[in-house]
Structure 1
């Protein structure tokens, strides 16, 4: 199947021509038939000589319904441009062509309707003058009359040639832009739309954008026929399970889950159609029309902040319309669907400079270089990288991130400097805390710290932080001298721990003593008791000489210490299973 849209001025015979080609009335509403004017989108289809099908999305020609018109044009790759031979080029013809040109639509047929009433040669000459310089310059033209039938066969042949020349759809996951949503008795919710990319099968789970809901496809129809699957480009109707029609209105999209950049903020390259961009604009993408704010970034780029998210990929074309005036304000090409926040002074200027390095062609190496670091999944969703594709040239891949090689080397070098600087300024805590390292380096994810440390064999990351393999605690000279006096005292009297007042008088603070215990110079017990590191084993050897079992009092006397020291020391022996309890009073030395 091929899908094309109509375009042209109001009352130039678009719907009449479609009816003549297909035998189907595209105007669905009684109001449209009463007024003789297309108000909403219409749909019809016909068979081609080669057995393929051609579906039409008939759009309104009146400027009051421009939003509906753009909803029909957005997802469709080709156009049947209609110009009446007896009236020629008109304002809405120009506006429709301007929109098609901004969307980059290059394939079409020019139908010169009412050929029996006017001068098709003159109408064609005028139309070609207006089409010159647009994406539709040079399209085939056919004079036709839907009333007399003149030229219908030639137009059908031209449409067949158009269909045969259409390029295959972009190689992207499924995305269907919803243009109708309703309920069918006994079936539930049905949505229709143009499947612009990918394929959808019965039983597939799809994501609804912008709501984020996940729903199942219960059934599929194309051109009123039930099918098991549909492939782009196609007009399809999907029967959905677990959603109400109001949850998937026109402008929603059904996409393959986790395969699209669903975003309400993006940086775009601008081709302005008016002198000055509006601060508030409506983004037209597919069948969606989303209001948003526009912030210029340099001469030809802008940041769009939308009222709701849309599914996009890098390089996609969209339209910006000023709600306060008629016509298209600008064409926009998506450069970055996951842009960084602009919070610092001069950030917009720097961002404009970075965007100048992006072509909109989704080149993986350039995308990584501009971002510095980006999650692989984001580049896949943005369409810059295929799932499973090799790491781009000039990038380092770690922990699910792609990092520009220059950025990685800067982090690598800076980490070594930070570790050395921290150890010099914190001799009692030479390990740079991991969270501090992440913050000082500006890493986007703490998971990147471990691979950075691994790239520096002289560093280690453990419970003490990031430090050199041989790094140790360094105490001030006067503190080390006091510690040496304590160790000498304990060497002579192993269980005669200094009182807190004695420790303080010697200049040994809790921080110094804790650091020494961490270094392995002392054994720290509850109650600010500090002994030599082998005190527990020494005590067990002394207590093994006592008659077994023994009391705490007997242990205190054997160890020549105080109750203040004996009780926590015995608890430490219990914890190490050097002693075992008989009851609340008695213990014995464990022989195993």
Structure 2
């Protein structure tokens, strides 16, 4: 299906033309039919050969209903601009065309209606020139009379050529801007809109802006017929399960879960009025939403918009700024950043303007990483920047230069920590996370590379991270000729081996602690087993003490350690055997 907006003229002639094309009544309201004026959005469709099914969103022409017109045009890829031959170009037609230009609509058709009442030539040439100066460019033009039926065959053929020339819908997640919401007895709340991309299916779980909770699709209709699934571009009606009518209104959106940022702060490029001349307050039109916005100029054509409420926007979205007081379209807007940085420091705004000058609204993973340093996969997808390649840790992507700087800083922080706390076996991961300003410990772990090592939740330099002074003191504490003679407490104190130092030596694997202030070299238990294996089995404590050339102060806890580790086996008479 293709969807075309019909815009341009104020009176009932435009709706008459749609009715003649489709055989359907686009004006739903009795007041519209009574006044001969489109007030709200109307919908109709027909089948072209060639061209297939085409749906029309009939938008109001009167200047008082421009916000409604924009709600219908926003998600639609093509427009049929209708101008009456007997009235020509009208002020509201100018604003409609300015809106289409601001939104960057590039596919259209000019229809000069009521050709039975006046020569269509002057209007056709004048309006075609105006359209050619916009994003629509040179468009095909057709003169018709819906009443007399002249030109209708040619119009259908021109519409067929228009829709056949439309590009395929973009590969994007579902974002259905709601342009109408109502209740059907026995079914509940139904919303309608133009699905620009993606696929909707019965049973889908979606996010509904403003609801604060997931919602589920109970049923779908497309062109008045129930369907199990529908792909954009298409006009759809969605029956929502468990959603009250007052929870949804025009301007809300149904979203693919986890694929959009709901933002009230965006940096944009403005295509239209000079940014310096924009008023401080305007209205942002995005899809069917109209949101008050505060404007902060940043560069020659870039600005920051503070929105009155959060809306689902992505990098590259084309939306519109309008001054409702002057009935003036200030310009189109390309969204450059939906999660912009705060501007708190002196000079930050000027620096931001320089950054924005190099951004074009095209999804750029390398650029986003360069500007942000680290970004989670989910956040990239929500911003509209498809992640590519391998993350550095978990779901985190990193700018290569930023990652390299973090690795250098990690080495510096590990070194500084070792200087401040030489007896600890490295810097704790959590302390390093805080020092580097990283959001997760997994990132610190991923940064560790030789010569740094990660052991037991700590990062150190080299294989052990043990201070050389501690190694030297331990070596002096023991007599190589008597490896099982534990140094006395006073000797340990003389060497600077207090409680903290001994604890560090134990953690580093330099010594084994048998009891309070009773330590031996780390390999002493293994060597003791070799000595004891040479005794007549079983052996007594005294025999073991003499063989090891040590004191009872050492022998008792040493044998107890060997018993616990299974190296020796203690018998009922307190003698032992080597296992």
TM-score (structure 2 length as normaliser): 0.83
In 2 relative to 1, CA 203–511 (structure 1 residues): closer, same or farther, beyond 3 Å?
same
In structure 2, the residue corresponding to 1:473 is in which secondary structure?
A: coil
Aligned to 1:173: 173
In 2 relative to 1, CA 171–561 (structure 1 residues): closer, same or farther, beyond 3 Å?
closer
| One of 397, 405, 414 as aligned partner of 1:410 | 405
d(CA) in 1 for partners of 2:340, 2:307: 13
Deviation readout 1:359-381 (Å, 9 max, x if unpaired) = 22224334433433333333334
d(CA) in 2 for partners of 1:397, 1:51: 48
| One of 485, 490, 511 as aligned partner of 2:500 | 511
Aligned to 2:196: 196
Aligned to 2:547: none
Aligned to 1:84: 84
Q: Is the 8 A contact 1:266 1:338 kept in 2?
A: yes
Superposed, 1:32-431 pairs within 5 Å as 32-50=32-50, 52-273=52-273, 276-322=277-323, 324-385=325-386, 389-390=388-389, 397-429=392-424, 431=426
d(CA) in 2 for partners of 1:575, 1:342: 64
Aligned to 1:462: 455
d(CA) in 2 for partners of 1:575, 1:341: 61
Q: Is the 8 A contact 1:210 1:308 kept in 2?
A: no
Aligned to 2:467: 474
d(CA) in 2 for partners of 1:446, 1:588: 51
| Alignment of 1:448 onto 2:443 | yes
d(CA) in 1 for partners of 2:289, 2:454: 50
Q: Is the 8 A contact 2:540 2:574 kept in 1?
A: no
How big is the shift at 1:451? 2.5
In 2 relative to 1, CA 137–464 (structure 1 residues): closer, same or farther, beyond 3 Å?
closer
In structure 2, the residue corresponding to 1:197 is in which secondary structure?
A: coil
Q: Is the 8 A contact 1:579 1:590 kept in 2?
A: yes
Q: Is the 8 A contact 2:319 2:332 kept in 1?
A: yes
d(CA) in 2 for partners of 1:571, 1:289: 80
In structure 1, the residue corresponding to 2:20 is in which secondary structure?
A: helix
In 2 relative to 1, CA 149–492 (structure 1 residues): closer, same or farther, beyond 3 Å?
closer
TM-score (structure 1 length as normaliser): 0.82
How big is the shift at 1:75? 0.5
Q: Is the 8 A contact 2:4 2:56 kept in 1?
A: yes
d(CA) in 1 for partners of 2:95, 2:269: 21
Deviation readout 1:557-587 (Å, 9 max, x if unpaired) = x97569xx99x999988976789999xxx99
In structure 2, the residue corresponding to 1:128 is in which secondary structure?
A: helix
| One of 424, 432, 435 as aligned partner of 2:430 | 435
Deviation readout 1:307-331 (Å, 9 max, x if unpaired) = 4433333222011234554222332
Q: After superposing the two structures, state which structure 1 stretch, 47-56 or 90-99, moved more.
A: 47-56
d(CA) in 1 for partners of 2:370, 2:75: 31
How big is the shift at 1:6? 1.6
Q: Is the 8 A contact 2:425 2:508 kept in 1?
A: no
Q: Is the 8 A contact 2:471 2:510 kept in 1?
A: no
Q: After superposing the two structures, state which structure 1 stretch, 414-423 or 571-580, moved more.
A: 571-580
Deviation readout 1:502-544 (Å, 9 max, x if unpaired) = 98898665433433333345556897887776898999989x9
Q: Is the 8 A contact 1:496 1:561 kept in 2?
A: no
Q: After superposing the two structures, state which structure 1 stretch, 568-577 or 342-351, moved more.
A: 568-577
d(CA) in 2 for partners of 1:511, 1:352: 55
Q: Is the 8 A contact 1:12 1:82 kept in 2?
A: no
The alignment of Structure 1 onto Structure 2 pairs a total of residues equal to: 566
d(CA) in 1 for partners of 2:149, 2:333: 41
Deviation readout 1:440-478 (Å, 9 max, x if unpaired) = 44445432222321xx332211236222233433276xx
In 2 relative to 1, CA 38–20 (structure 1 residues): closer, same or farther, beyond 3 Å?
same
How big is the shift at 1:251? 1.6
Aligned to 1:554: none
Q: Is the 8 A contact 1:494 1:535 kept in 2?
A: no
Deviation readout 1:300-359 (Å, 9 max, x if unpaired) = 223334344333332220112345542223321122333334444433333333333322
How big is the shift at 1:195? 0.9
Deviation readout 1:392-417 (Å, 9 max, x if unpaired) = xxxx7443333222223323333333
